[in-house]
Structure 1
Amino acid sequence: MAKQKLDPAQEITNEIIGLLEKGTMPWRRPWKIAGGGVPLRHNGERYQGINAFLLGLRSAMMGYSSPYWMTFSQAKELDACVKKGSRSSIVVYYGTAKKRGTDAGDGEGGDKEGGGTYRFLKSYRVFHVSQIEGLDASYQPEPEGGTSDGPKMDQEAQAFFDAIGMDVRYGGDRACYIPSLDRIHMPDVSRFESPGAAMSTLTHEMAHATKAEHRLNRSFGVSSFGNEAYAKEELVACISEALMGQRMGFYADHIDNHAAYIASWIQVLKGDTRFLFTAAAHAQRAVDYLVAAAEAGRSSKEMIHEAA
């Protein structure tokens, strides 16, 4: 009997669904690790999207402090070896290939595209550096201190969000993005349990704001509370929190009504085993947009200051 091929999308989605069915939001975790919260490849390159989300999650669940991950062969090239019995973590990548004949692209993991090519999803296994013996000490940096709440909502953090240039109004007891006004409403920072919670909530609403037509133009259809389109957009915003939290040192802690969101997310993920990857890709684009907007806003202010 032939061995069934691994479907990485199914395996990863099942893992997340399993956590959700236990009543756990897997992204509600401390993301602060040494060297910053973003997981890194052996050469120091940042993981992006779904891989950054998954490896950050596993680091948080296992209590890993170093940001570095590598394959078995990469460890071997560094004259190191994976500890016996260590469990690997799956990471994925999309690629494109030329079709072979009329039915090319129909294989496992393939998505047909025009122009004689198709997209495919492949996976490989990596180990955290704490699972590897014989590595240089630089792969095991000392934790940078602080708590899992990350940095305070100090002037630097506030300046980052202000530089993005979105219309944010503080006051009241509700956080929301109003598409018709292109405006974000936030309670005063003093009303949050921690500065990190305020940063998480503001990131969540700014992620929603990136869906506007003049920004990233993201839509999953007509949205109303509890329907599929609403659940998909909320999942994008929550993963955006996690990815931004990796960069800034806070953890995603926005949603209070666990049961309603968890039920809708389980339904979405069971209906489409690849939507988690789609959501993570949208979330990465949202975070990249916000970071770029902040950098542009800061540069503009500096030019005005120099000209004055």
Structure 2
Amino acid sequence: MTAYNRKTRKHTRSNLYQDITDKIIAQLEQGTFPWVQPWGSPKANASLGLPQNAVTERNYSGINVLILWGAVFEAGYSSQSWLTFRQALKLGGTVRKGERGVTVVYASRFIPGEGKKKGQFTSDTSKNPRAIPFLKRFTVFNLDQCDGLPEQVTAQSVSPDTSLIEPKAEELIRASGIDFRIGGRRAFYSPDDDYVRVPPPQAYFEPINWHRTALHECSHATGHKTRLNRDQSGSFGSKKYAFEELVAEMSAAFLCASIGIVPTVRHADYLASWLQVLREDKRAIVRAASQASKSADYLTGFLNSVPEAGSKEAASCA
């Protein structure tokens, strides 16, 4: 992607980190939280869930969730499924003429070569201090923008059964093994003692908010050194603290979408500190979204080992 510089009268490659960050800041300044889309609005035609590739059926993660959710609501698409132009052709379909795709990204790192040796690419999780992080970009199209795709690809997934929302959240918390306690008057995660405490559901005006709160605090717990080992050393009001709250907010939103709960913003009062973090570091939103996906994936991974309801192993998460 290139941008035209009026001063130099030349086309220059745009900075994707800055492009993404500018868009997120604009949305936040308008009071829109991109990880909590207005699912109940008239434009929310797509079913609740994470965006996925229509061919591989793999969910997009990190910043791509925010990018694609935003595209779904801006255009009013009815599908959360996406594919590349080549994937559409390979399936026997085509992208309609005039349709504009959405740029998604893949995070990677490049280690510069020494002397005449060529540099090498490495995983995004590389700890090599010489590794230079960068984003690869590619374009995807929503299924609503395509014609001629086979029925097995275009068939919409069944909407989540709302009767399973609360049990699924309970199962996830129980299976995670996190020390989860119900009681008290405030919700929090204690990094030092590694436990979560959340008030009882009846303490919430809308009981469904208990689940959103619980998933937010469990997302904090994934950062413990025995789990995903995030930096949780920031004190209240610090940039590190604001960044961790941003990670937990998005992780909870991703978890809610995964199990059929409409996400909401729990900490809108942190907006000013989030904006400060994003304005000072154009890579912050990308890193936060990546950490949020890792946190959500860590927790949803336990659902595969959950015992069936009614079994001897099933017990209360309290």
Amino acid at match of 2:84: T
TM-score normalised to structure 2 length: 0.79
Assess, with a 3 A threshold, how the Cα gap between structure 1 residues 122 and 171 changes in structure 2: closer, same or farther: same
How far is 1:33 from its partner? 4.7
Q: Secondary structure at the match of 1:25?
A: coil
Assess, with a 3 A threshold, how the Cα gap between structure 1 residues 230 and 97 changes in structure 2: closer, same or farther: closer
Amino acid at match of 2:289: A
Task: Name 1:15's counterpart in structure 2.
Answer: 23
**Structure 1 residue aligned with 2:145, among 131, 136, 145?**
131
- Percent identity, aligned pairs only, is 33
Aligned positions of 1:90-239 closer than 5 A: 90-97=103-110, 99-102=112-115, 114=128, 118-142=132-156, 144-145=158-159, 153-219=165-231, 222-239=233-250
Task: Name 1:266's counterpart in structure 2.
Answer: 275
How far is 1:40 from its partner? 1.5
**For the residues of structure 1 that align with 2:27 and 2:163, how far apart are their CA atoms?**
28
Assess, with a 3 A threshold, how the Cα gap between structure 1 residues 20 and 118 changes in structure 2: closer, same or farther: closer
Amino acid at match of 1:4: T
Amino acid at match of 2:10: A
**For the residues of structure 1 that align with 2:205 and 2:164, how far apart are their CA atoms?**
12
**For the residues of structure 2 that align with 1:219 and 1:113, how far apart are their CA atoms?**
15
Q: Which has the higher contact order (CA 8 A, sep 6+)?
A: 1
Q: Is the 8 A contact 2:91 2:149 kept in 1?
A: yes
Where does structure 2 lack aligned partners over 5 or more consecutive residues? Answer: 1-8
String of CA shifts for 1:131-179, please: whole Å, max 9, x gaps: 12222233333463469xx555433432222222222222333211122
How many positions carry a matched residue from both structures?
A: 294
String of CA shifts for 1:231-290, please: whole Å, max 9, x gaps: 10011001101221231112322425x2x4111111111111111111122112212222
Assess, with a 3 A threshold, how the Cα gap between structure 1 residues 154 and 250 changes in structure 2: closer, same or farther: closer
**Structure 2 residue aligned with 1:284, among 286, 290, 293?**
293
Assess, with a 3 A threshold, how the Cα gap between structure 1 residues 173 and 142 changes in structure 2: closer, same or farther: same
**For the residues of structure 2 that align with 1:153 and 1:283, how far apart are their CA atoms?**
21
Q: Is the 8 A contact 1:163 1:295 kept in 2?
A: no
Q: Secondary structure at the match of 1:154?
A: helix
Amino acid at match of 1:250: I
**For the residues of structure 2 that align with 1:9 and 1:89, how far apart are their CA atoms?**
15
**For the residues of structure 2 that align with 1:239 and 1:123, how far apart are their CA atoms?**
22
String of CA shifts for 1:91-128, please: whole Å, max 9, x gaps: 101234563455987xxxx9x97498654321111111
Identify which range, 245-254 or 271-280, moves more after superposition.
Answer: 245-254
Amino acid at match of 2:301: A
Assess, with a 3 A threshold, how the Cα gap between structure 1 residues 85 and 172 changes in structure 2: closer, same or farther: farther
Q: Secondary structure at the match of 2:23?
A: helix
Q: Secondary structure at the match of 2:196?
A: strand
Identify which range, 288-297 or 129-138, moves more after superposition.
Answer: 288-297
String of CA shifts for 1:197-225, please: whole Å, max 9, x gaps: 222211110011112222222116x4232
RMSD between aligned alpha carbons? 3.3
Q: Secondary structure at the match of 1:3?
A: strand
Q: Secondary structure at the match of 2:106?
A: strand
String of CA shifts for 1:173-202, please: whole Å, max 9, x gaps: 321112233221212223334454222211
